[in-house]
Chains A and B, each alone.
Chain A
Amino acid sequence: MSEDNRIKKIIIVGGGTSGWMSAAALIKLLKDKYCEIHLIESEDIGTVGVGEATIPQIQMFNKLLDLDEDEFVRKTQGTFKLGIQFVNWKQIGQKYFHAFGDVGRDIESIQFYHYWLKLFKLGEAQDLGEYTISGVASDRGKFMRPFDAGNSPLTNIAYAFHFDAGLYARFLREYSEGRGVVRTEGKVVSTQLNSDSGFIESVTLEGGQKIEADFFIDCSGFRGLLIEEALQTGYEDWTHWLPCDRAIAVPCASAPYLTPYTRSTAHSAGWQWRIPLQHRIGNGHVFSSQFMAESEAETILLKNLDGEPLAQPRQLKFTTGKRKKFWNKNCLAIGLASGFMEPLESTSIHLVQSSIARLMTFFPNKHFAQEDIDEFNNQAHFEFDRIRDFLILHYKVTERDDSDFWRYCRNMSIPDTLTQKIEQFKRNGRIFRTSNEMFSDLSWLEVMHGQGIRPEGYHPLVDLMSKEDIANRLESVKRVIDKSVDYMPTHEQFIAENCPAKKMM
């Protein structure tokens, strides 16, 4: 009976990172016999992908595809990433680090950071980053993969990657085509809907070729060729909370040291990313056109490069927000077609990956059960909204008062869910991870603290331990981390030994 219900053909519209990630995952999981998988892309349409930064969850995606990590890094000009350095966000001249992985070591089942909070309040603890192996290794330009080292922090090094998104898409295209995905070169010019159900029946390419399928995945980017232009799903605009709506991107020559982290530097009406690849650095200035002219934004970007620019700056326009439904009828939007959030916490690729994972959990048959689609959308909305809150936090909680942009951000109203999280942390240093939320309590802690929130209290049981004992514990955590970092090679050494890429330019 299941044979008849089976989806027999899937069309992915749009290549680029999200299109090829979807194609690769589908062909791997559905194998080549389950159904046909087609991807339509046009070489005339550029992809938005620039230097791309990721979070550690991407390792799960690589594992799913059985990728050889060294090969993947080599072929994408990749480097390793231990976290994000935020510069000038709380105030000009101030820095903090959002590190991947553990912070310290829990004591008596109470999180380490409560002990740290107590000592920090007394002025007797160092910066939070000093108690994370990612933070200390980043500071010293070191990197290695974790290995089984017993209790040592070297067992738990959490890392992600920086890579060239265009090369990544090419890499996944090879992977997908090799396994049976059919690529069609062409531009979709129209979409045909079923007059009763409103489901998509086919797409027509320039030149008149019509391609039918049971299920459509829209990876066409901002415009949402299927999800919006054909199905008119609607878009929820978040510009009032995340006012940046433009970006200018430019690569520049490498700096002498290969930093194992992404840097985000706040400017007067936005911020600038810095993503180191093996032989160049990706940079971009994300800003609000309401508060800054494009020419000024470009000048600022070019003034703040670590090396000479290697190309003409490229402009991008976007509206932060999300599609009202990610999955509508027989069409699922993935990537920029599903919504856009600025890459402040490197979540773009993760959202693609988690949409794919969720698709496989709710993989449809020809009946397209509405309950499944509803549940998919509920979970996706939840994920988008929580990440949105986390991004707003960076803008809302700041001491900067040097421009209209920052004054706007400080005074803007924010979602209740975020207010509640901030209030809770302010009062008692507690952070509750809402079910399935992507960013952990530690991420929230690092950013809330980094942006300048100082809680009034900490866990009451912390007072059971004497100040001296806590200080000793903190000291020993720090000592162990320092020693472990001594053992690690530099980021450059590690790459040279394992996955050096050819210089492309």
Chain B
Amino acid sequence: MTIKKIVIVGGGAVGWSVAALLRAQFPRELVVIQLIEDSRKDALSVECASSRIHSFHDLIGLQEKICMLDPYTHFGLGVMYEGWSYDSQKYMLAGGYYGASLDGVDFQNIYIKNYLSGEKNDLDDFSLNAVAAKLGRFGHPSSDSQSIYSAIKYGLHFQLDSYADILKSHALALGIDVIIADCTAVSRDNNSGNITSLELDSQHSVMADLYIDCTGEASVLLGDACGVKCASDDMDILCDRVAIGYRLQSSLLPSIAVLTSTADGFFKVIPLKDRDVIVYYFSSDLIRENDIETMLATWGFTHVTIANYRSYRREKFWVNNCLAIGHSGARYCDLLVSPLQSVRDSIVRFLDLFIDFDNVDASRDEFNRLSHIELDNINEVIELHMYASQHHSAVSCRYFSSHSLSSSSAHRLNLFVSNGRHTHCDLSLLTDIEWAAFFIGNKIIPKSYSYDVDFLDGERVRDFLSKLKAVIFESAQKIPKHADYIKSLLK
């Protein structure tokens, strides 16, 4: 077998994520992998990853210990929605289980029947994750599947440049070749459309069997050179700016990201070890950039940078021998689905589908198809969140004055509203119970519930729910305090 070569253009957390995974998975004696680290700056600043990041780190062999030694990296315990759809709102979207079933009757239905009968329990109280987070507790999940603590789910928060450095040293240790240069020209074969070589400003030229475009919005290979256009975007959230800033905070506070919708946009505050980072998407015709800066300053955020933002996706993400990962292929509002989650999913998908360099047609078509499904799913999450906030946010309200809910979002919503049911879809981003937590947290309550709840005696259900709450609360109190746990880990 001849030796093949993959060139990744663009560094940053995206490029180095790709590099690390490919180097960890392709046999070194068969495939050379080179990364051309360009001077472009990443548009991203912070990564707020859910627990799904761990399987990616396992694949590349990156230990959590290494990540936690970084001065910024923090555990993430979930997302708190504050004032998303009404002022006093406060609920958590935490991973993991909610409650437990009784006599084979699913918890969500038990909860809803009880809610409709007038006993409006807080759904958060049935999630060990949410209760522990609110109490400022944290510990790693137990590996004993019988233990209640095995249900703990946590993610990781990173400062992006710093995370890129972690990934870079890891990828270099795995044996990636790196060239520091900017790409100045791309040559293509007129017949096949394949990229044949890249000219670099270091006077080099490089050739490869597969080129991976991680050049961000510039989309140097896929967009510029291969001419793949942006598809008309159906999910423009009508924000055209994103402001990013940070404020230092004491240290080692519990790590819950907070998501809020305001009159003029949406923002998320993401805690790192020594600071909070704010990412604020807003519409410049509703609020001026100066006013945003002033507002963030009154909240204590400094070093504010404001950049233009638009959401888009290209018609294809992989054409000929050129594959785009990250913003070079698509960009979406990343408050609800973390920016690097779809990057990680894309590379894993590429590896799942790829088999050899000479036969890529089938893999390519499937890759494009699945990537579009994934983006549709992301749009659905964003759209339904905006739907929930439409009476609270001018941006959402304006969106729905010119758009109606997409048919898939409307179906999901109606299915839940009528009887508390969920639809099946490929590559689903949220589990059924997470969707339920989202709807219920925004006071979207089903009118009815599954038939089998009626078999349970009402008294028994109330007793069951109050015991469940008590057990979860007691168990959460036994988890170490977040600050103590981190100090002991770092020792």
**Which residues of A come within 8 Å of B, CB atoms?**
1-2, 5-6, 29-31, 34, 361-363, 365, 367, 369, 371-372, 374-375, 378-379, 420, 423-424, 427-430, 432, 434-436, 456-461, 463-464
Contacts and interface: CB of A to CB of B under 8 A. Distances in A.
Given A428-B359, A460-B355, A369 B116 contact: no
Interface in B321-379: 353-356, 359, 361-363, 365-366
A31 B355 contact: no
A363 B451 contact: yes
Contact of A424 (B356, B366, B423, B450): B366
Contact of B355 (A372, A375, A430, A464): A430
A424 B451 contact: no
B411 interface: yes
Interface stretch (B22-30, B191-199, B472-480): B22-30
Contacts of A423: 362
B5 to A, nearest CB: 14
Nearest to B425: A435
B408 to A, nearest CB: 11
Contacts of A429: 355
A371 B423 CA distance: 10
B356 A457 contact: yes
Q: Which of A2, A30, A371, A430 has the most CB of B within 10 A?
A: A371
A367 B355 CA distance: 51
Contacts of A456: 359
A408 B426 CA distance: 35
Given A371-B415, A375-B411, A428-B363, A434 B426 contact: yes
A30 B451 CA distance: 8
Nearest to B106: A361
Given A420-B366, A460-B27, A375 B423 contact: yes
B119 interface: no
Contact of B27 (A2, A5, A463): A463
Interface of B: 1, 25-27, 30, 113, 116, 353-356, 359, 361-363, 365-366, 411, 414-415, 418-419, 421, 423-426, 448-452, 454-455
Given A378-B424, A427-B362, A460-B30, 13 more contacts: A2-B449, A5-B448, A6-B454, A34-B451, A362-B419, A372-B415, A374-B411, A375-B411, A375-B423, A423-B362, A424-B366, A428-B359, A429-B355
Nearest to B113: A2
A378 to B, nearest CB: 8
Contacts of B25: 461
Contacts of B424: 375, 378-379, 435-436
A197 B450 CA distance: 24
Closest 4 CB pairs of A and B: A428-B355, A369-B418, A371-B414, A371-B415
A379 B426 CA distance: 12
Contact of A372 (B113, B366, B418): B418
27 contacts: A2-B113, A2-B448, A5-B448, A6-B451, A29-B452, A31-B455, A362-B419, A369-B415, A369-B418, A371-B411, A371-B418, A374-B411, A375-B415, A375-B424, A378-B423, A420-B366, A427-B355, A428-B355, A428-B363, A429-B355, A430-B355, A432-B366, A457-B355, A460-B30, A460-B356, A463-B1, A463-B30
A464 B424 CA distance: 38
Contact of B26 (A375, A424, A460): A460
A464 B30 CA distance: 10
A436 B26 CA distance: 30
A420 B354 CA distance: 15
